[in-house]
Amino acid sequence: MKMRAVSAQVLLLLLLLELVRARDCTGSSRCTGSSRRYTPDWPSLDSRPLPAWFDEAKFGVFIHWGVFSVPAWGSEWFWWHWEAEKLPAYQNFMKENYPPDFSYADFGPQFTAHFFHPDSWADLFEASGAKYVVLTTKHHEGFTNWPSPVSWNWNSKDVGPHRDLVGELGTAIRKRNIRYGLYHSLLEWFHPLYLRDKKNDFKTQYFVRAKIMPELYDLVNRYKPDLIWSDGEWEGPDTYWNSTDFLSWLYNDSPVKDVVVVNDRWGKNCSCHHGGYYNCQDKFKPETLPDHKWEMCTSIDKMSWGYRRDMMITDVASEYSIISELVQTVSLGGNYLLNIGPTKDGLIVPIFQERLLAVGKWLSINGEAIYASKPWRVQFEKNETSVWYTSKGSTVYAIFLHWPESGILSLESPIATSTTQITMLGIQNDLKWSTNPGEGLLVYLPHLPPAAVPTEFAWTLRLTGVK
Ligand X SMILES: *[C@@H]1O[C@H](CO)[C@@H](O)[C@H](O)[C@H]1NC(C)=O
Binding site for ligand X (CB under 6 A): 205, 208-209, 213, 242, 245, 269, 381, 383-385, 404, 410, 412, 439
Q: What residues contact residue 298 under an 8 Å CB cut-off, 6+ apart?
A: 282, 283, 317, 325, 336, 337, 338, 339
Phi first, then psi: what are they for 166, rounded to 5°? -65, -45
Which lies closer to ligand X via its Cβ, residue 97 or residue 221? 221
Alpha carbon distance 54, 70 (integer Å):
33
Please work out, in degrees rounded to the nearest 5, the angle formed at the alpha carbon of residue 277 by the alpha carbons of 66 and 69: 10
Closest distance between ligand X and the C-beta of residue 52, in Å?
A: 30
**CB neighbours of 97 closer than 8 A, spacing ≥ 6?**
none
Which one, 310 or 439, has the nearer CB to ligand X? 439
Question: Which of 247, 358 has the CB closer to ligand X?
Answer: 247
Sequence letter at residue 334: G
Q: How far is the CB of 213 from ligand X (least distance, A)?
A: 5
Count other C-beta atoms under 10 Å from residue 1's C-beta: 4
Q: Phi first, then psi: what are they for 99, rounded to 5°?
A: -60, 160
Which is closer to ligand X, CB of 322 or CB of 441?
441
Q: For residues 460 and 463, give the distance between their C-alpha atoms in angstroms, rounded to a whole number.
A: 10
CA nearest to 346, candidates 149, 102, 163, 127: 163
Residue 238: CB minimum distance to ligand X, A = 10
Closer residue to ligand X in complex, CB, 242/460: 242
Instruction: State the minimum distance, in angstroms, from the CB of residue 278 to ligand X.
Output: 15
Q: Count Cβ atoms within 10 A of the Cβ of residue 420 and give its class: 0-12 exposed, 13-18 middle, 19 or more buried.
A: middle
Q: Smallest distance, Å, CB 389 to ligand X? A: 13
**Residue 16, CB-side half-sphere exposure with 13 Å CA sphere:** 6
Closer by beta carbon to ligand X, 247 or else 338:
247
Minimum distance from CB of 384 to ligand X (Å)? Answer: 5
Alpha-carbon dihedral 157, 159, 161, 162, rounded to 10 degrees: 30
Pick the closest to residue 337 from 359, 320, 369 (CA basis): 359
Closest distance to ligand X from the beta carbon of 45 (Å)? 14
Q: CB of 218: closest distance to ligand X in angstroms? A: 14
Give the residue at shortest CB distance from ligand X.
383
Count of residues in the chain:
467
Q: Please, which residue, 305 or 433, has the CB nearer to ligand X? A: 433
**HSE-up of 425 (CA within 13 Å, CB side)?**
25
CA distance 143 to 96: 25
The CB-of-185 to ligand X minimum distance in angstroms stands at 17
Q: Are strands 179-185 and 132-138 parallel, antiparallel or unpaired?
A: parallel
Q: Nearer Cβ to ligand X, position 164 or 264?
A: 264
Instruction: Identify which of residues 144 and 205 has a Cβ nearer to ligand X in the complex.
Output: 205
Q: What are the two backbone dihedrals, phi and then psi, of residue 372, each rounded to the nearest 5 degrees?
A: 55, 20
Alpha carbon distance 257, 83 (integer Å): 40
The smaller minimum CB distance to ligand X, of residues 132 and 251, is found at 251
Q: How far is the CB of 225 from ligand X (least distance, A)?
A: 20
